[in-house]
Structure 1
Amino acid sequence: MSTQRGLLIVLSGPSGVGKGTVRSAIFEDSNCDYVYSVSATTRQRRPGETDGVDYFFISKEGFEDLISQEALLEYAEYVGNYYGTPLASIEESLSQGKDVFLEIEVQGARKVRERMPEGIFIFLAPPSLNELESRLTDRGTDSKEVIARRMNKAKEEIELMSHYDYVVVNDQIHTAVNEINAIIKSEHLRVERVMNSIQADINAYFEKEANQS
Structure 2
Amino acid sequence: MPSKRNHWMYGLSGALLLIEAAIFAAALFPSVTPEYRAYYLDRSTDCYPLPVSGAYRLGDRVSFGAASEGKRVDLARCGWRDPEARGSWSDGNRSMLRFAIAPPPADLVLQLSVQPYLDAETPRQRIEVTANGTPLETFELVEKSPAIHRISVPSDIVGTTGWLDITLNYPDARPLTAAGSGTRYYALFVLDVALMGAVD
TM-score normalised by L of structure 2: 0.26
Q: Could you say which structure has the larger radius of gyration?
A: 2
Greater RCO between the two (CA within 8 Å, min separation 6)? 1
Higher share in helix:
1
TM-score normalised by L of structure 1: 0.25
